[in-house]
Amino acid sequence: MAEAGGGDARERPGSGAVLPTARGWLVLAGGAALLVAGAGFGYRELLVLGAVPFAVVLVSVALVGRLRPMQVRRSVATPRVSPGDEVEVVLGTDEDGRGRGAHLLADRVAGPTGARSVELPATRSGDPRPTGYRLRAERRGVLDLGPLESRRRDPLGLAAARRVSGGTDRIWVHPRWETLGAMPVGRSDDPQGVFDGGRAGSVSFHTLRDYVAGDDVRHIHWRSTARQGKLMVREHLDTSHTRISVVADDRGGAAGDELAALDEVASAAASVVAAAVEGRWACELRLVGGRSVESTGRLAPMLDLLAEAHPNPGADLARELWRLRNRPFGDTAVLVSASITAAEARMFARLGEVYPRLVLIVLRRYGRPLGAVPGVTVVDAGDARDLAARWSGERWSA
């Protein structure tokens, strides 16, 4: 398996048309110079020599021929992996119509650190055997495979053709996560005595709050709306099991490599949501940038979201905290950050009015030191691996 960048053919991307390469253009430029010199000085020999490069390039273009479109079949054995794992990618191609096939196939691979092409020899026309390559997942993120590029060039390298075929497939590289012990339980009731992770159970009135776009109009409390002069809605809480909201700060770190900082934030958040899913808690995972997913008893969609997260310096933590206040989810809120400031931590502490338990995980390796915050359990960890040891030392009783 070899890696290479884009070809040197100056052509429309993926059109399949044959055009001179950089070497071919130089040969044509030399021929044009000879023609100009021959015409200017009246030397017939120079005119003949100047015509030769044009004839050679024209023959090269004819030899290469236009590439026809292909049907591409790509299969990935495991679309969800961990950093360090190897993924086997199998490619099958069917050329559409008659004609010479490509000399080379190149599958585009775009990941968190950039894009590259993985080159592999093309199969012969009519050969049903697939080809493929092995790909190593270096770090958390997503790998987008494709489209497939077919290439062909003449032996002298004067002309080349390139065509893009097929679609793309995605591989999620999930963050590494550690096993945590006890979880921070708030003061919600559990009349059934079990945490079943489902939506069924005892739904009780929790509070009245301002209407937010997207709320069910059936929950509007009209008497309070008339008294307050603004729309008020009834907030209900499912008390059959503990509910936890986990917020991953995708703004990166306060210092150092933002992508590495977000990797640690994602790993720490993954540890918390994994423990929640294992304990059959209702769990919501959010990014400060705005994306979110709720657990339905499955961990994979939440890890997918963490894999897709990328540094978002423009994300607004204050807006996310406002959303948590106005549309609370359960009785426990956990914020994981490598860039939170003391002022933002105090802002997070104000959520104690709607969340009985607040937990702030500070990853100091990429963030700023943070002291005690009244009303908040601060877990000060160096990185995601250190979190597991410090987490087990906390007392999470209500």
Q: H helices of the chain, where? A: 22-41, 44-64, 222-228, 258-278, 300-308, 317-326, 342-349, 384-392
Phi and psi angles of residue 275, each rounded to the nearest 5 degrees, phi first? -65, -35
130's CB contacts (< 8 A; 6+ apart) are 73, 90, 91, 92, 123
Write down the pLDDT at residue 94: 75
C-alpha distances out from residue 178 to 196, 259, 362, Å: 23, 20, 16
Write down the pLDDT at residue 195: 35
Dist CA 251 CA 259 (whole Å) = 10
Give strand ranges (E) for 14-158.
15-20, 70-76, 80-81, 86-95, 104-111, 114-121, 131-136, 141-153
Write down the pLDDT at residue 206: 63
Name 175's bridge partners. none
Write down the pLDDT at residue 396: 63
341 within 8 A of 368, measured Cβ to Cβ: yes
185 within 8 A of 233, measured Cβ to Cβ: no
Label residue 149 left, alpha or beta by phi (over 0 means left) and psi (-120 to 50 means alpha): beta
Write down the pLDDT at residue 379: 92
Residue from 128, 192, 125, 151 nearest 9 by CA = 151
Dist CA 259 CA 255 (whole Å) = 11
Q: In what helix (H) or strand (E) does residue 251 lie, and over which residues does it extend?
A: strand 243-253
Write down the pLDDT at residue 331: 85
Label residue 113 left, alpha or beta by phi (over 0 means left) and psi (-120 to 50 means alpha): alpha
pLDDT along the chain (398 residues), means of 10: 38 70 95 93 91 94 86 90 94 60 83 90 64 91 93 91 90 94 59 37 66 84 91 71 88 80 95 91 93 90 96 93 88 93 95 93 84 92 88 64
Please give the distance of CA 385 from its chain centroid, rounded to a whole number: 22
Write down the pLDDT at residue 395: 60
The pTM score is 0.75
Query: Concatenated DSSP letters for 302-350?
Result: HHHHHHH----TT--HHHHHHHHHHS--SSEEEEEEES--HHHHHHHHG
Write down the pLDDT at residue 102: 63
Write down the pLDDT at residue 309: 96
364 within 8 A of 382, measured Cβ to Cβ: yes
Which of the 8 DSSP states describes residue 200? -
